[in-house]
Amino acid sequence: MNRIDRLTAILIHLQTKRVVKAEEIADRFGMSLRTVYRDVKALMEAGVPIGSEAGKGYFIVDGFHLPPVMFTQDEANSMMLAGKLVEKIADKSVQTAFGSALYKIKSVLNEDEKDNLETLDSNIQIHFRGRATTNDQFPDHFMTEIQRAVAKKQILKIDYCNANGEVTQRMVEPAGIFFYSLAWHLIGWCQLRNGYRDFRSDRIKNLINTGEVFKKRSDVSLKEYLQAMFVSNQALEPAVVVFDKAVLKYRPLSSTTTQTDLGDRVRAEFMMDSVDFIARWLLMFGKGAEIVSPDRLRERVAALSEELYHHHSVSEIQS
């Protein structure tokens, strides 16, 4: 990147936040702090109203904005790829908002860039198996409102359906959103339970943003919550088992497993807290289950099988 392009990129970066640290600019563009200071000084000498606060960073004086920014072909292509991912892992509200943004990006491209983007669009496919199809019971169009509440620290009123089908009304002070187990999760302080809870977004039947800003008492970051959650679950261990579909007909797998279709077989990935319990459960599937990992789970199943063999062996049956 030449200096002209870098100066423009720095100016755009400065407009993305209220205050931008010099270290942040240096990290993004791979340059020294001395070069950052020199480039910012050059922008100021060119008439850009940049202010600074000791120990905080640089900021653009209110009222100054760059004219509309043109996108490069690579930037437009990356947005197209992101849109494909959004279609698979975001709900309807986010898909609609992102689609609108993508149309605006396309509108500022030249004719050749538009043609290239159309070609790329028809030649990108993403297969993301496992995300449940939304139905009328779970509208699945609340993520945009949830994001707004997280950003503005506003209390959400939700009707939430748990795994047993029970619906309760909750007042939630959102800490953040997290994608895992093939679904988006709202993490927040539940006033009903008087503690932090994890709400799957696709189990929210109704949602209202009250507009009420919650107190700092529950102002905990998503990172802190997840760190605490991981610490409490350190005993969990991942396991991978491949099942014949025939044996799953009458013994379906839990919804907590990540499943991959292999044709006549299904690869299941899940977390276990007891090797012995999972080993005894797997015995029900006989030869229809093949343990990929961990080794100690396979060894435990083998040991239990040997115990059963000796227990039921004809030679040990007492007359």
The answer to whether residues 214 and 156 belong to one domain is yes
The reply to whether 65 falls in a domain is: no
Q: Which CATH number is 28's domain given?
A: 1.10.10.10
Range in 46-50, 81-85, 136-140, 239-243 the model is least confident about: 136-140
The reply to whether 176 falls in a domain is: yes
The reply to whether 131 falls in a domain is: no
Q: How many domains does the structure of the chain reveal?
A: 4
The reply to whether 208 falls in a domain is: yes
Residue 139: name the closest of 204, 95, 208 by CA: 204
Q: Which position has the higher pLDDT, 240 or 109?
A: 240
145-182 confidence digits (pLDDT tens): 999 999 899 999 999 998 778 899 999 999 888 887 67
Q: Which two tokens stand for residue 209?
A: 């943003």
pTM of the model: 0.57
Share of the chain above pLDDT 70, in %: 85
CA distance 208 to 142: 9
CA distance 225 to 154: 18
The reply to whether 318 falls in a domain is: no
User: What's the mean pLDDT in 87-94?
Assistant: 87
The answer to whether residues 150 and 219 belong to one domain is yes
CA distance 206 to 300: 46
The reply to whether 134 falls in a domain is: no
CA distance 47 to 30: 25
The answer to whether residues 228 and 241 belong to one domain is no
What's the angle, vertex CA 124, arms to CA 118 and CA 127, rounded to 5?
145
CA distance 194 to 191: 5
pLDDT at residue number 61: 86
Q: Which CATH number is 180's domain given?
A: 2.30.30
The answer to whether residues 170 and 220 belong to one domain is yes
The answer to whether residues 219 and 260 belong to one domain is no
The answer to whether residues 225 and 241 belong to one domain is no
Handedness of CA 35, 39, 41, 42 (dihedral sign): positive
Range(s) of the domain holding residue 245: 237-312
3-state secondary structure the chain: CCHHHHHHHHHHHHCCCCCECHHHHHHHHCCCHHHHHHHHHHHHHCCCCEEEECCCEEEECCCCCCCCCCCCHHHHHHHHHHHHHHHHHCCHHHHHHHHHHHHHHHHCCCHHHHHHHHHHHCCCCCCCCCCCCCCCCCCCCCHHHHHHHHHHCEEEEEEEECCCCCEEEEEEEEEEEEEECCEEEEEEEECCCCEEEEEEHHHEEEEEEEEEECCHHHCCCHHHHHHHHHHHCCCCEEEEEEEEHHHHCCCCCCCCCEEEECCCEEEEEEEECCHHHHHHHHHHHHHHEEEEECHHHHHHHHHHHHHHHHHHCHHHCCC
Q: Which CATH number is 265's domain given?
A: 3.30.70
The answer to whether residues 31 and 86 belong to one domain is no
Does 274 have pLDDT greater than 70?
Answer: yes
The reply to whether 67 falls in a domain is: no
The answer to whether residues 172 and 220 belong to one domain is yes
CA distance 209 to 261: 39
The answer to whether residues 147 and 219 belong to one domain is yes
The reply to whether 298 falls in a domain is: yes
Q: Which two tokens stand for residue 15?
A: 């407009």
Confidence of residue 216 (pLDDT cuts 50, 70, 90): low
User: What's the mean pLDDT in 225-249?
Assistant: 78
Does 60 have pLDDT greater than 60?
Answer: yes
pLDDT at residue number 267: 92
The answer to whether residues 256 and 301 belong to one domain is yes
User: What's the mean pLDDT in 71-94?
Assistant: 87
The answer to whether residues 20 and 100 belong to one domain is no
Last residue of a domain, one of 164, 198, 232: 232
Share of the chain above pLDDT 90, in %: 34
Helix pair angle (33-45, 3-14), 10° resolution:
80
The answer to whether residues 151 and 205 belong to one domain is yes
